A and B are shown apart, each in its own frame.
Chain A
Amino acid sequence: MLAMYVDPGSGSYYFQMLIAGLTTFCFFFSTIRRKIASCFKKSTPPVSASKTAADKSKVISVAK
């Protein structure tokens, strides 16, 4: 009978407070892991200004 008065949301609400430390740790761990992973990822070479200008002129000449 008591269960009829327990909102299914209340247990989930309480449980989140219990695992708050774990979820905070999870957030910082995933952030650090993402940052480390990004250090090892190959960065795409920046497009040089001269090349961009050359490409632009090519587009313009084609458009003509």
Chain B
Amino acid sequence: MISERMKVSGASFRDPSGFVVERDGEFLRVVQPAYAEHYKCLFDSGLYEELTGRGLLIPHEEIATEGFDGAFKVLRPRQLPYVSYPYEWCFSQLKDAALATLAIQKTALSHGMMLKDAPAFNLQFLDGKPVLIDTLSFEKLRLEPWAAYGQFCRHFLAPLALISLCDPRLGRLSQIHLDGIPLGVATRLLPWRGRLNFWLLVHLYWHAANEQRELPPGAGAASQAGSGKLRLSSLQGLVAGLEAAVKKLRWQPPKTAWATYYASSVTGGKYVEHKQQVVAEFLKSVQPRSVWDLGANTGLFSRLAADAGAETVSFDADSDCVEINYLQTRKEGGRRLLPLWMDLTNPSPALGWEHRERLSWLERRPPDMTLALGLVHHLAIANNLPLERIRDFFGRLGPWLAVEFVPKEDPNARKLLRVREDIFPGYTRENFEREFSRGFAIQRSAPLQDSPRVLYLMRNQRNA
């Protein structure tokens, strides 16, 4: 039993080893007595120390168990600034998370332990790197087939192969298949040349062909010990083969219009430089702890927020931009910046059992400040969204908003109108200011140099 002050996480019901609760805005992990033996082994074997030292496992401190009747331990892990899901990651984020999972399994095997599950949801990005957040994922080593092997292939190998060999947008299949893309679906979608990669042939194609087999009588984890013995070297070889399969998969983003946006002549002159200066001033005056950059492109302005000390999340609907942004962030090392793939006109929904396992985008903790730069004309003109609905949407986010108004005479807005009828007579600067004044207090407005665009700093009246 736990007290009424606490709320059990909607995703935390499968594992009898423990569960996650939210108390006063903090996430705690409750360890049940059934897991005591494995928990002790995690420390006695030195595995916890090694994995946390290498940044592969989230560190925690043990806190008092008062108020948690029957709990063996209560852990307070380092808190995550933002929770993201694998279907919001770009190719390299998923690949890094896959390699981190295999590195954890390899290290666990050398310490006499193993991962009992391997869903991609068990990893989150912290300081720019994937980290395992489920401390209760370890069990004492049993020399039998790895129970998480199929899950690893469905959650990591199948989507990575589909992105690498077919199309990056197939990464979204993970949103439909919460326990990973069925291997039969993946192998039917993959081109024939997928078979030329030996490890894909083994771990996807041959694996898929055997997925529906029933276990021989007497075999399986629930049966008597010794029925399905494997050598340690076989388990280590399995990890080495999966590692080789993942490492061989590559994807290079093409040079799309968005990925080269800031280098294009349309946004030339002093525009970008001046915009950076104004955004930096806004950030300095607000001093937000967290920032969401919506329509972030490759993260030029997100970096200003991260440099100002804010935990920053860059959202973009273009997976190429997210990939470029992530690779740059990884190169810079340990930045407080998380690029994510998100279409604001169709953001991630609540998913899973009772819609409570995976949070919708708007259910996650809102930021102190939202950047909406070069975005409103896409929402209003390309998506026919009335200004008042755009205002209401921003009103659901944090207390501060930096928003750019792009008028119809702007060359990029003209491009949007070139192929569609102008049914937006109300899309003017005057109307924009009038509509936004109904939910926000306009604190500052700055016309941008070499451009008809205007940048506003607004205070959300709902959070005032």
Contact = CB atoms under 8 A, between A and B. Distances in A.
Given A10-B215, A24-B231, A15 B237 contact: no
Contact of A26 (B154, B182, B221, B240): B240
Given A8-B211, A9-B147, A20-B230, A14 B237 contact: no
A: contact size bracket: 20 to 34
A31 to B, nearest CB: 9
B233 A27 contact: yes
B202 interface: yes
Interface in A19-45: 19-28, 30
B234 A15 contact: no
Interface residues of B, number: 35
Contacts of A11: 150, 207, 210-213
Interface string B202-229: 1000110011111110011100000010
Interface of A is mostly: helix
Nearest to B228: A17
A15 B230 CA distance: 12
A14 B149 CA distance: 11
A47 interface: no
B385 interface: no
B213 to A, nearest CB: 5
A32 B191 CA distance: 33
B150 A12 contact: yes
B210 A18 contact: yes
Contact of A15 (B179, B213, B231, B240): B213
A50 B216 CA distance: 67
A30 B243 CA distance: 11
B225 to A, nearest CB: 15
Contacts of A22: 202, 237, 241
Nearest to A5: B214
A13 B220 contact: yes
A24 B140 CA distance: 21
Contacts of A28: 233, 237
A14 B237 CA distance: 16
A12 B221 contact: no
Nearest to B146: A16
A10 B220 contact: yes
Contacts of B237: 22-28, 30
Contacts of A25: 237
Contacts of A21: 234
B324 interface: no
Interface of B: 145-147, 149-151, 153-154, 179, 182, 202, 206-207, 210-216, 219-221, 228, 230-231, 233-238, 240-241, 244
25 contacts: A8-B150, A8-B179, A9-B147, A9-B151, A10-B213, A11-B207, A11-B212, A12-B150, A12-B153, A12-B210, A13-B221, A15-B149, A15-B207, A15-B213, A16-B146, A16-B238, A17-B230, A19-B202, A19-B238, A20-B231, A20-B234, A23-B234, A23-B238, A27-B233, A28-B233
